[in-house]
Chains A and B, each alone.
Chain A
Amino acid sequence: MTAAEHLSLDQVRAYVRGALHPSTLVATDDHLEACAACRAALARESDASFGAEAFGRALAAPEARPESPHATFDHLRGAVDGTLSSIDRQWVEAHVRLCAMCADELEDLERFVTVLPLRKPAAPVVEDENLDALWPPPVASHAVLSPSRPRLPRLDEGDEPPARYGETAPPTLPLWIKVAAGASLVAILQLWAC
């Protein structure tokens, strides 16, 4: 199709109705891009004001969703641990900007996680509707980390694990006490030698 061969009225109408065959749709669209006369014909046939109105109404219409519009525990936990997929992270971030309830619960968990023993979360948080079914299994696995959300500090593999809650950590002396004790011992030995 060239600019010289204008679209017929039937072709323009078929384009507006979405009735063109896929093989001709792209070529027709390319022609419209290049041909002002056909674009004018298209503007006459497709009333942009009706399209804009329908678009605005569709945006403003609420979703028919009895499902909870709120973040689940797994979303909140994933946000705290930095294990959400990017789409869920975007959603949670946008949702907590709108929803005081979920923002409040997320803030509470972010605060609470700082007093918990630093252990790796048991399982990555999840991508699908059966979020609850994947609530952490007893066996630990490595988490999938979110690329951009700041992570909470975690233990490196080589670090000594913290004591479980209720266990007493083995007593260790600060370095300065050890150094002072060593120096005192040397001084006593010198005095004794004199």
Chain B
Amino acid sequence: MAVDALQQEWDPRLKALIGDASPRASERLAALALRAIDPAVRHATTTQLAHLTAADRADVATMCRDRLTALLRAVQRGERTVPVPDLEDFARASADAMCRDYLRRTRPALAKLANRIRLIATRGVGIVGWTTPKGQPVLGLPAWTDQPPLEAPFPWHGRVKDWWGKGHAAVDGPALTPTVVRVLELAGAPVPSEAVAAVIFEVTGSADTGTRVDASPEGDEPELAVLDAGVGPDHLAIARRYLERAWKELLAMPPQMRASLLLSLRDHHGSALLPVFHCAGVTPLRLVADALEMKPDETAAIWAHLPWDDKAIGRRLGLTGLQVLNARTVARSRLLRHMALRDQR
């Protein structure tokens, strides 16, 4: 394994936090939160949630801050497995994503309209979509891709009906495409895709009828009966059976999902958990190597370097760090569910 595959690409300020439990580290963490997280959250909530009440915006901002501060603590404890190369960029992108998810949850009809419009732009019907250097998805005519997009307040602000005139508008079906074309022609410049959806929503007098329940996949996993550490032959036999069941479930997973989970598994001290299986006599190293689609020698060579961060796993599997994170999330959920089902039986 190339050494560079094991090197972590962290923001130096975060790298300095890893494993540092001193009071000074806590001060540094608080300072980082103030300097990097607060501005990102403020920017995301004021630009994306401008139409919400101040109280709602403050709620979302608190949620964003809490989650990003939890990230800093996870980094400090060595639990974060996807390196964060630039904290400011990461905080900005994460705060934006959290605001978007909030809107998707609270305004589902508008979110679906925005998706439909973005899909239209992939169909070669005279509208194209691209992403600005600031990461904002915009829509426009093919000749406009060099132009900067309109920014709020948009020309229709406060006078949508006059601006639109008498033309027909639709939020769905074949008539949505000419509606989007008309918005762009009237605007005369690229428009953020969310704004296109919002103006069509307003022109057609559409309304969101209800907030979705929080559908986070993180929230509805079954409780796993965690084994208590104990002594005695009975307890060892139970623990071994538990690990054997887990191993069987792991082998039934698609290989990339399995490797994403196994190579990153760590206990609360940050030590690798993959060796648990062969140390408990559940499976020999050669079969662990097979499960990872590696040669035994190769597995032995990486053994002392486990657990890997997601970037290193991604390099090994030909995936991005985020794909590894997603694959591991699914693998965890699947394993928890299957183990819980077996418990019920």
A121 neighbours in B (Cβ, 8 Å): 122-123
Contact indicator A42/B281 (Cβ below 8 Å): yes
Give the dominant DSSP class at A's interface.
helix
B124-144 vs A, Cβ < 8 Å mask (1 yes, 0 no): 111011110001010000100
Select one of A29, A58, A60, A67 contacting B278, CB under 8 A: A29
Closest to B235 in A: A49
A94 contacts the other chain (Cβ, under 8 Å)?
A: yes
A176 contacts the other chain (Cβ, under 8 Å)?
A: no
Give the dominant DSSP class at B's interface.
helix
Contact residues, A20-70 vs B (CB, 8 A): 22-23, 25-26, 29-30, 32-33, 39, 42-43, 46-70
B67 contacts the other chain (Cβ, under 8 Å)?
A: yes
Select one of A18, A95, A129 contacting B272, CB under 8 A: A18
Q: Whole-angstrom distance between the alpha carbons of A32 and B277 in the complex?
A: 13
Q: Whole-angstrom distance between the alpha carbons of A53 and B276 in the complex?
A: 10
Contact indicator A22/B226 (Cβ below 8 Å): no
Contact indicator A64/B118 (Cβ below 8 Å): no
Closest beta carbon of chain B to A185's beta carbon, Å: 38
Q: How large is the interface on A (under 10, 10 to 19, 20 to 34, 35 or more residues)?
A: 35 or more
Contact indicator B120/A108 (Cβ below 8 Å): no
Contact indicator A59/B224 (Cβ below 8 Å): yes
Contact indicator B173/A115 (Cβ below 8 Å): yes
Decide yes or no: A136 and B120 within 8 Å by CB, A46-B279, A50-B229, A52-B227 being known contacts.
no
Q: Whole-angstrom distance between the alpha carbons of A140 and B325 in the complex?
A: 31
Contact indicator A25/B285 (Cβ below 8 Å): yes
Q: Whole-angstrom distance between the alpha carbons of A59 and B274 in the complex?
A: 12
B324-345 vs A, Cβ < 8 Å mask (1 yes, 0 no): 0111111011111000000000
B303 contacts the other chain (Cβ, under 8 Å)?
A: yes
Q: Whole-angstrom distance between the alpha carbons of A129 and B82 in the complex?
A: 12
B186 contacts the other chain (Cβ, under 8 Å)?
A: no
A-B contact count (CB 8 A): 291
Contact indicator A49/B327 (Cβ below 8 Å): no
Contact indicator A116/B215 (Cβ below 8 Å): no
B202 contacts the other chain (Cβ, under 8 Å)?
A: no
B19 contacts the other chain (Cβ, under 8 Å)?
A: no
B328 neighbours in A (Cβ, 8 Å): 63
Interface segment out of the listed B8-16, B149-157, B260-268: B260-268
A73 neighbours in B (Cβ, 8 Å): 114-115, 118, 137
Contact indicator B220/A98 (Cβ below 8 Å): yes
Interface segment out of the listed B26-34, B51-59, B158-166, B236-244: B236-244
Contact indicator B218/A129 (Cβ below 8 Å): no
Q: Whole-angstrom distance between the alpha carbons of A69 and B280 in the complex?
A: 34
B121 contacts the other chain (Cβ, under 8 Å)?
A: yes
Decide yes or no: A77 and B101 within 8 Å by CB, A25-B285, A119-B124 being known contacts.
no
B296 neighbours in A (Cβ, 8 Å): 26, 29
A110-150 vs B, Cβ < 8 Å mask (1 yes, 0 no): 00110111011111000111001101111010000000000
Select one of B112, B325, B333 contacting A65, CB under 8 A: B325
A152-172 vs B, Cβ < 8 Å mask (1 yes, 0 no): 000000000000111000000
Select one of B97, B112, B125, B276 contacting A105, CB under 8 A: B112
Give 14 A-B pairs besides A29-B285, A60-B223, A127-B323 with Cβ atoms closer than 8 angstroms. A16-B275, A23-B300, A25-B303, A57-B268, A59-B335, A88-B326, A91-B323, A95-B330, A104-B112, A116-B123, A122-B122, A128-B320, A128-B323, A165-B177
Would you list 21 pairs from A and B whose C-beta atoms are within 8 A, ordered by A residue? A26-B297, A32-B281, A39-B281, A42-B279, A47-B236, A48-B236, A48-B281, A51-B280, A53-B228, A65-B325, A68-B97, A68-B98, A76-B115, A90-B327, A91-B323, A94-B330, A95-B217, A112-B116, A113-B119, A129-B322, A135-B131
Interface residues in chain A, defined as those with a beta carbon under 8 Å from any beta carbon in chain B: 15-16, 18-19, 22-23, 25-26, 29-30, 32-33, 39, 42-43, 46-70, 73, 76-77, 80-81, 86-88, 90-91, 94-95, 98-102, 104-105, 108-109, 112-113, 115-117, 119-123, 127-129, 132-133, 135-138, 140, 164-166
Which 3 interchain pairs have the tightest Cβ spacing? A64-B74, A51-B276, A52-B239
